[in-house]
Amino acid sequence: MRDLLKNPIWRNLELGFSIPDSKHAVSVALPTWNDVINYEEKDPKCIEALKSIYPRFGLNPLVKRLCEKIKKESQFNNKNIWPYPDERIALKAKKYCDKNTFQGYSYIERRHNFTLLITQESANIYARSFWQHSGLGLSSRAAAIELGLEHCPSKSLANESYQRIKNRISKFTKTDSNDIHLTSSGMSALYTILEIIYKLFPEKPTLQIGFPYVDVLKLPMNIFHGAKLITEEDCKDIELEILRINPAALIIELPSNPMLKCVNIKKISKIANKLNIPVIVDDTIGSNLNINSLEHADIVFTSLTKIFSGSGDILAGSLILNPKSRWIDQFRNALKQINLPILSDGDIVSLEKVSRDVKQRVFQQNKACLELKKRLETHKEVKNIFHPENCPNFNSILTSDGGYGCLLSFELKGGKEKAKKFYDSLQISKGPSLGTKFTLVCPYVLLAHYEELEWAESFGVPSHLLRVSVGLEDENHLWHTFSEALNNF
């Protein structure tokens, strides 16, 4: 496998290369600004060049290969195939399609180890939307095993690895491992949490506080019962606003992506407690090694794909029930009635191996990111830098030895044109995702909000913003690489 710490993927001719060099990679190389635009515009040449894709935004090549094999064998002409790990999960996808289109446009076909949702005509759009927002689809490792390309690990090894991962998270969060549940992705963790919420509370919209990661907002908005969005800056009286909206639950990211702002979670948690509204927290970026998110939430979910894995080639998530929540018994009972979207055995074993050094990595990356931030903010070409170091709300929930995470964003003087030149010349791996052992850069707002750039701008999120996930490279070498691109104007 290519060592991206020493040999990053950044050259023009490397468009579409898998990041990392793995058939299970969750990122893909977009070396130039125009590549990002072409990717968003679905330019055929760009799309054909992609050797990988984020698994919720399309079919991983192995999953696609499995679907093509099934099509040939079963002659599903002019139909789309969406493989799910079991029938109950596939039926959730079908139910969503049926709610939005004619029922005959989708149907289920069972296989030995998985289930297919087969769609046609207008159902295809809704099937794709459900695949993206829910994160419930069949994993690339499960597909590789079905194709005979990988061996399925023994059940005893998978069970042992599963418990080790839960114990690892338990140690970081000081929570009983029985209240920690692993899921097939960060978004499938949120999907499960929303299923729990709607077993206990009326079918009202959720309320997200703070600028959202795109699918954290769109999952409840499109798949469940709607979602509202507010920011603290826009509210004169946040308690009054929460009371007015009267949501089924609050959803809060600690910190926000990509501006890395942290809401006043202590204050909001007290308000929610007073109003009898559960609080759901996404601590993917903050990391439970850095912040005490569970202390102020009823349920916490995390994309283990990112920092916990660090490898960039495993889709995984977790949800943690707060044993001190007033609804803990109801949460536990509701979860028993829900088909938990568990990780495949192959993903469990792989995740356990790569996460063994997570504590060491997190603290190294905290330090490296802070160092890069300090160097960037003194450079004459940098207009603004966004990082949690000076956020009092973030500092108020730091663990005793916690830091500020691996992520920063910055804006260059000269706007889009300068950002484009910098990005094109930067000799660092360039593509979506974060938390990897190697540094990864992307024009995040273009990738996440391409169809709604004006909307993002209205929240003070500029379209030419550059987001950096800092890895484990030598700090001086990393700065040399950044300063070369910054001085290339």
351-370 pLDDT, tens digit per residue, is 999 999 999 999 999 999 99
Residues constituting the chain = 489
- Cβ pair 280, 294 in contact under 8 A: no
Q: Mean pLDDT of all residues in the chain?
A: 96
Choose among 163, 156, 157: nearest CA to 182: 163
DSSP assignment string, 1-58: ---TTTS----GGGTT-EESSSTT-SEE---SHHHHHHHHTT-HHHHHH-S---TTTS
List CB contacts of 248: < 8 A, sequence separation 6 or more. Answer: 197, 198, 201, 202, 203, 204, 205, 206, 225, 277, 278
Q: Is the pLDDT of residue 75 over 90?
A: no
Choose among 242, 321, 238: nearest CA to 276: 242
Q: How far is CA 435 from the centre of its chain?
A: 10
* pLDDT tens-digit series, residues 198-232: 999 989 999 999 999 999 999 999 999 999 999 99
pLDDT at 74: 87
In angstroms, the first-to-last Cα distance of the chain is: 34
Question: pTM score > 0.85 for this model?
Answer: yes
pLDDT at 78: 86
Measured CA to CA, the distance from residue 461 to residue 166 in angstroms comes to: 36
Retrieve residue 341's tokens.
Answer: 């979207």
- Cβ pair 393, 265 in contact under 8 A: yes
Retrieve residue 78's tokens.
Answer: 């002019």
Q: Does 76 or 198 have the greater pLDDT score?
A: 198
Retrieve residue 253's tokens.
Answer: 């990211």
Retrieve residue 49's tokens.
Answer: 């060049």
pLDDT at 103: 84
Provide the residue type at 454 as one letter. E
Average of per-residue pLDDT across 241-267: 97
Q: Is the pLDDT of residue 461 over 90?
A: yes
Helix (H) or strand (E) holding 279: strand 279-282
Choose among 64, 186, 88, 67: nearest CA to 133: 186
Helix (H, G, I), strand (E, B) or coil at 216: helix
> Quick one: what percent of the chain has pLDDT higher than 90?
96
Q: Which residues are bridge partners to 408 per DSSP?
A: 468
CATH of 155-354, one of 3.40.640.10, 3.40.50.620, 3.30.450.40, 1.10.645.10: 3.40.640.10
pLDDT at 128: 97
Other residues' Cβ atoms within 10 Å of the Cβ of residue 476 = 10
Average of per-residue pLDDT across 311-335: 98
Helix axes 33-40, 415-425, angle to 10 degrees: 100
* pLDDT tens-digit series, residues 9-48: 999 999 999 999 999 999 999 999 999 999 999 999 999 9
Provide the residue type at 228 as one letter. K
What is the bridge-based pairing of β-strands 299-303 and 279-282? parallel
Q: Is the pLDDT of residue 489 over 80?
A: no
Choose among 347, 472, 349, 355: nearest CA to 24: 347
CATH of 12-52+357-486, one of 2.60.120.40, 3.90.1150.10, 3.40.640.10, 3.40.47.10: 3.90.1150.10
Average of per-residue pLDDT across 477-485: 97
Structure letter (DSSP) for residue 452: G
Q: How far is CA 254 from the centre of its chain?
A: 13
Helix (H, G, I), strand (E, B) or coil at 92: helix
* pLDDT tens-digit series, residues 398-417: 999 999 999 999 999 999 99
- Sequence spans of domains, the chain: 12-52+357-486, 61-138, 155-354
Helix (H, G, I), strand (E, B) or coil at 106: strand
Please work out, in degrees rounded to the nearest 5, the angle formed at the alpha carbon of residue 456 by the alpha carbons of 240 and 432: 120
Q: Does 478 or 234 have the greater pLDDT score?
A: 478
Residue 85: pLDDT band (50, 70, 90) is very high
In this structure, whether the domain defined by 61-138 belongs to CATH 3.40.50 is answered with no
pLDDT at 234: 84
pLDDT at 233: 87
Q: Is the pLDDT of residue 136 over 80?
A: yes
pLDDT at 415: 93
- Cβ pair 119, 93 in contact under 8 A: no
